[in-house]
A and B are shown apart, each in its own frame.
Chain A
Amino acid sequence: MVDVLEHPGVIVDHGHEEHHGPSGILKWLTSTDHKVIGLSYTITSVIMLVIGGAFAEIIRAQLASPNGTLVSFAQYNELFTMHGSVMIYLFAGPFAFAALANFIVPIQIGAPDMAFPRLNALSYWLYLTGSITMLSGFFVAGGAANFGWVAYAPLSNSANTPGAGADLWIGALLLTGFSAIFSGVNLCATIFYLRAPGMTMFRMPIFTWNLLITAILILLAFPVLTAGLIMLYCDRHFGTHIFSVNGGGVPVLWQHIFWFWGHPEVYILALPFFGMATEIIAVFSRKPVFGYKGMVFATISIGALSLGVWAHHMFTTGVVLLPFFSIMSLLIAVPTGIKIFNWIGTMWRGQIWFSTAMLMALGFLTTFLIGGLTGIYLASPPLDFFTHDTYFVVAHFHSVVMALVFAGMGGLYYWGPKITGYLLNERLGKIQFWFLLIGTNLFTLPQYLLGLEGMPRRVAVYPHDPQWKNLNDWSSIGAALIGVSTVIFVINVVHSWKKYPAGDNPWDAQTLEWFTTSPPPHHNFYRLPQIRSERPTWDYNHPEHRSLGHGNHAPAHDEAPDEVPVA
């Protein structure tokens, strides 16, 4: 069934027509509604977070003793490979650019759906089957892939890693890779072609801007990975020698290809979460985003620079251009710093409402700052030579990705009411936040010290260095607290199920998604407000405090007319 849609306009009311589609399981199989697909993505990716998290808990339990015997060495290799793979490929990426993005971006720009609804549905099915493919590695002879989530050649060739698990891993990434590419195409087309009248590019919410840059990065990076995986498969099965020395190939080429995807991927993961944090901080500070255009240009700069930094993962190979990659990596700190100052500027003198979503955004800000600053150390080759492949690097990127978990949780608390029509419990949310904050820092901070003491990553035991046990124990306790916080989140979802009706705009928020009903109707809007700034819903609800155009400033407080003495 194909609906031909007319733009609602401000006065054209479609009436509250209901959409008559299939229901039950057939609805989930056949729906091309971006909201249903977004919800499918959200549920699937949160399940992946729980699975990947369970792997992490086993890893931390193993490391709680210098001679851990919880799992064998072979099982440990599978666990850290699948932990990284599930978290990066199956949770963080899809959650970032396809779950909340799918649901929120079209509504934020006043669009009825994604530009290509059927392609959008195909993206989801490729993602789901890819996830099943990767996890099914545990059930084949030889077990799941065990060469680390980066699959370095020549370790990943058929002689060093035989078995179906590795091939399932490659196949899974082919599926999820195409899924991501299709999502990227869809987001670009939606944002370029389906904005509501008056929603100029520089009135789009920061979340949408970040998703646009993310989508462009997806289109630049993911095809490279997909091509690399096909080459790797050919090396494994068709006798090519692209990545093996004995046939004239170049093993380090795999690293170039992998990281040419892999570093933009870091920003593909991060930018959507930056967007979530920006929206949350502005709404709960009751202010517009500070430095809107600076924020947009910082995002574009991060996207542009991210393509020239891949080999900072390869400093120790000895065959990369150290100064180029060091300069480019250090440069990224500048737009990232602008963002951090803008977040602080947004909160400055705002009326801050410490809801769970806001607390999560603040948790993101602090944790990301730690992860970001240690990233600046690692951009310097002499420091990187010293810490490469130690727990310092593990701690650095876990600070970063745990910050993203904070922002994602904030996003679920903030947009959950829009998606379901019901609020989550704030008290449980705040308890979850404190477990997450304490757990995350207890988990990562000892790892920085372990790394500086020389503990290598990916070891299952450390019998010759029992002095590392103490710090490892703290880290494992932190991981357990993170696990508890996830359980509290699940309890909160179950406890709050259809309990606290949210209304259309429970946060007195600013952007267009809060103008429609919760959950939004089929094709999203019955009517639209005039769009005159980047916060049309706020302008509509607060005509006396309308947003000013960019570059126009309100008179300073002490110049307010009512305080000027009458001459």
Chain B
Amino acid sequence: MKVEAKLMLGLGLFFGLMCAVYWNWSLENAGGVMMFAGMLLGFLPGGYYYWWSRRMKPRPEDDPQATQASGAGVVGAFPGTSIWPFTMGMGAFFCVLALVFGVWFLLPGLALVGWSLLGGTAEGRRGGPH
């Protein structure tokens, strides 16, 4: 996890330095604000990874000498099929059509998105060892 942390923190640091130079040198604020936000996007996950990397044992994927057997065990739960991404995508499609063709499109759009959120969450909860 250490390399991941260093990568994100390093990018955040670079964006921060660039932001400081740009902010003081240029005459507009938009770019400085966007680079500042870029810096935060580096520091936020980078800091989280760094915090964890000091508190956990190296994972098998961080160990150059790891054998495949050392990674044996549950990797995670992976849904094989699910209808909810499709219905949610269609919901988002209707919401966007509402921007163009009339606000009533929001009705089926939001309904589909909401239904998919509930359905997808329930599906995730049902998942697990079986």
Contact = CB atoms under 8 A, between A and B. Distances in A.
Interface string A116-131: 0111111011101110
B120 interface: yes
Q: Is the interface of A mostly helix, strand, loop or mixed?
A: helix
B101 A164 contact: yes
Contacts of B126: 2
A32 B68 contact: no
Interface in B90-130: 90, 92-93, 96-97, 99-101, 120, 123-124, 126-130
B56 interface: no
Nearest to B100: A167
A303 interface: yes
Contacts of B69: 9-12
B77 A5 contact: yes
Contacts of B22: 308, 321, 324
Contacts of A324: 21-22, 25-26
A113 B68 contact: no
B92 A175 contact: yes
Given A4-B130, A219-B41, A122 B85 contact: yes
A168 B21 CA distance: 39
A121 B74 CA distance: 23
Nearest to A128: B89
Q: Is the interface of B mostly helix, strand, loop or mixed?
A: helix
Contacts of A448: none
Interface stretch (A77-85, A188-196, A556-564): A188-196
Query: Interface size class for chain B?
Result: 35 or more
Contacts of B61: 195-200
A27 B83 CA distance: 10
28 contacts: A2-B80, A2-B127, A3-B80, A4-B78, A4-B127, A5-B76, A5-B77, A6-B72, A12-B69, A31-B81, A32-B80, A32-B85, A118-B82, A125-B93, A167-B99, A170-B99, A178-B92, A196-B60, A196-B61, A196-B71, A197-B66, A198-B67, A224-B34, A256-B30, A256-B34, A324-B21, A527-B68, A530-B68
B4 A260 contact: no
B9 interface: no
A445 B127 CA distance: 57
A477 interface: no
A38 interface: no
Interface of A: 1-12, 19, 21-22, 27, 29-33, 112-113, 115, 117-122, 124-126, 128-130, 132-133, 164, 167-168, 170-172, 174-175, 178, 192, 194-203, 216, 219-220, 224, 233, 253, 256-257, 260, 300, 303-304, 307-308, 310-311, 319-321, 324, 328, 522-523, 527-532
A22 B66 contact: no
A523 B74 CA distance: 13
Interface in B27-85: 27-28, 30-31, 34-35, 38, 41, 49, 60-85
B79 A117 contact: yes
Contacts of B71: 7, 9, 196-197
